[in-house]
Structure 1
Amino acid sequence: MKIFALADLHLGFAVNKPMDLFDPVWENHHIKIKDDWYDRVSEEDLIILAGDTSWAMYYDDAKVDLEWIDALPGTKIIIKGNHDYWWQSLTKMQSYESIFFLHNNYFKAGRLAICGTRGWELPGSEEFGLDDEKIYHREKLRLERSLLLAKKDPEIDSIIVVMHYPPLLSYMKETYFTELLTDPMIKHVVYGHLHDKESWDRAVQGVYKGPQYHLVSADYKNFSLEELKLYD
């Protein structure tokens, strides 16, 4: 079993919002993703999709995007991003054979658990305002719950954490999220959301206080999956 990650697919088969309006690098980006996926992924593999999966505003419009993902090889674990307005209850969404929706829960694969939450803007960033503290704290509690559920399972010895927003930026020392991410069971942290060079330059990558951090925004990764090595 191999493990891959990618964020910000921004699919929109049912809505008229092509990503190349923002940057020509996004032209036919779904084809680039699909080609790389079929070249590298088998049915036994896990693929973590770290938010902003679909541009759809409504679940019925997102179905065609989710069906496209469901038809690709492997088991997919999807977390909510800030643009995933279509997101519904887990009961309503759990109708896809190969998709697991990660929200106040965890995904188990043998000794591995995949935990996570969407995250939010971080204190100290330009985007953080007075109204953001409540959401920031709530997202910390959701990550804490996901991790606690996984660690109660005696078979779990390794954890991958997935978020949509970055849990830390390079000019910060610590956040609510990184306080939780120093647990030695956590091997990798993946996130997306960042879409320009200035943001990429502020991204935390590589080993930081234990786990290895990965920025996996689709445009940053040139629409190629990032492989996560868990066991040597």
Structure 2
Amino acid sequence: MNIYAIGDLHLSFERVVDLEDWENNSQHKPMEEIDSFWRQHARKIYENWNKIVAPGDVVLVPGDISWAMRLDEASHDLDFLSLFTGLIVCVQGNHDYWWQSV
């Protein structure tokens, strides 16, 4: 078992993520609006995570999971995380406003 950590995912999916059609996975606050470097950042995280993390590994996510303001808005982001390999342990970050509505 390995232990990994990654923070500041800043996901913002508006609907269920289609892993076969990344170009049409709309987000309410896409990171590429900040800088083109972040284009398809969720796809890069997903693909690299699943290359490295094995089913028995633990991944610590110390916050800033979603830009959502409420839990219902974060649901697609959390569903997306459920597709990732390994056991994920999340804690609230300073941008996780949705956490207050849990």
- What residue is the counterpart of 1:44 in the other structure? 56
What is the CA–CA distance in structure 1 between the aligned matches of 2:56 and 2:29, rounded to whole Å? 33
TM-score, L = length of structure 1:
0.37
Q: Which has the higher contact order (CA 8 A, sep 6+)?
A: 2
Output the amino acid matched with 1:70: S
Q: CA deviation at 1:82?
A: 1.1
Provide the C-alpha distance between the structure 1 equivalents of 2:100 and 2:64, rounded to a whole number of angstroms: 14
What residue is the counterpart of 1:69 in the other structure?
81
SS in 1 for 2:59: strand
What stretches of structure 2 of length at least 5 have no aligned partner? 15-26
Q: Residue in 1 aligned with 2:17?
A: none
Give the counterpart of 1:81 among 63, 71, 93.
Answer: 93
Alignment of 1:113-192 (within 5 A): none
**RMSD between aligned alpha carbons?**
1.3
How many equivalent residue pairs?
90
Q: Which has the higher helix share?
A: 2
Q: Does 1:26 align with 2:38?
A: yes
Aligned residue type for 1:2: N
Within 2, Cα distance between the matches of 1:79 and 1:30? 19
Amino acid at match of 1:23: D
Could you tell which deviates more after superposition, 38-47 or 11-20?
Answer: 11-20
Residue 229 of structure 1 corresponds to which residue in structure 2? none
Q: 1:16 offset after TM fit, Å?
A: 1.2
Aligned-residue sequence identity (percent) comes to 43
Give the structure-2-normalised TM-score.
Answer: 0.82
Match of 2:12 in 1: 12
**Which runs of 5 or more residues in structure 1 are unaligned?**
93-232
Larger Rg, first or second structure (1 or 2): 1
Runs of 4+ with >4 A deviation: none
**How far off is 1:38 after superposition?**
1.1
Partners of 1:72 and 1:66 lie apart in 2 by: 10
Partner amino acid, structure 2, of 1:13: F
Q: Give the AA of the match of 1:51.
A: G
Could you say which residue in structure 2 is the equivalent of 1:170? none
Name the SS for the 1:38 alignment partner: helix
Which residue of 68, 73, 77 maps to 1:56?
Answer: 68
Q: Which amino acid aligns with 2:59?
A: I
Matching residue of 2:2: 2
**Alpha-carbon separation, structure 2, partners of 1:27 and 1:71:** 20
CA deviation after TM superposition for structure 1 residue 24, in Å: 1.2
Give the structure with the higher percent strand. 1
Task: Give the C-alpha shift of residue 41 in structure 1.
Answer: 0.8
